[in-house]
Structure 1
Amino acid sequence: MLGSINIKDVKLKIGDWCKQKRLLFGLSQYELAQVLDMSRLTIRKLEEGKNVTLDTLLKVVNHFDMLDNVYKIIDTDISSNNINSLY
């Protein structure tokens, strides 16, 4: 798929977003990690676009008050597809 966005691109963009928000709030990686009860290495990995858990990502998103936005995007997408569950 030429010209399409891939997972690596999204992970790097999320990392850039996290770093930008962290710096905007005047936090070091260590300070953000302390607030979220995780290691500085975890924050560094996220900012570098490396593998992190969904839980880690959601904690960061929540900390920067973006969880409602993420939820609404997903909910809107689900609602617009009108797919009946198989379960």
Structure 2
Amino acid sequence: MEDMFLSLQKPSDVRSKIGELVKAMRNSRSMTQQELAEKLNLTRLTIHKVENGKNFNIDTLLLILQYFDLLSVFSDFIEEQRVQFKDFGSFY
């Protein structure tokens, strides 16, 4: 069981990957950090933090995903996981 946890990625690794994705999506639309921030009513610093894998909150991530039309993809993934764990049953 311990080996399973050793193979998991660290939260900072996942934040970095999210940041790379956000930056790629922003660049694909030829937007600056400032332009994206203004569209989302956020600060440029907030976008900078997300893109650099720094601490950001889930609401910021969801807002960005919504802007880039990826919120439904994320929601579908969550639902698939929920169903999978529901089907797994309870140990108690």
1:40 aligns with 2:44: yes
**In structure 2, what is the Cα distance between the partners aligned to 1:55 and 1:24?**
23
**Letter of the 2:59 counterpart:** D
Instruction: Give the alignment partner of residue 12 of structure 2, picking from 8, 19, 33.
Output: 8
Tell me the CA shift for residue 81 of structure 1. 1.4
Structure 2: which 5+ residue stretches go unaligned? 1-5
The residue correspondences of 1:22-33 to structure 2 (distance < 5 A) are 22-33=26-37
Match of 1:54? 58
Higher helix share: 2
Structure 1 or 2, whichever has the larger Rg, is: 2
Describe the SS at the equivalent of 2:78: helix
Tell me the CA shift for residue 4 of structure 1. 3.2
**In structure 1, what is the Cα distance between the partners aligned to 2:9 and 2:67?**
26
TM-score of the superposition, structure 2-length normalised? 0.85
**Letter of the 2:80 counterpart:** T
**In structure 2, what is the Cα distance between the partners aligned to 1:43 and 1:10?**
16
Q: Which runs of 4+ in 1 moved over 2 A?
A: none
Describe the SS at the equivalent of 2:9: coil
CA RMSD of aligned residues (A): 1.2
TM-score of the superposition, structure 1-length normalised? 0.90
**In structure 2, what is the Cα distance between the partners aligned to 1:69 and 1:48?**
22
Identity %: 35
1:68 aligns with 2:61: no
Structure 1: which 5+ residue stretches go unaligned? none
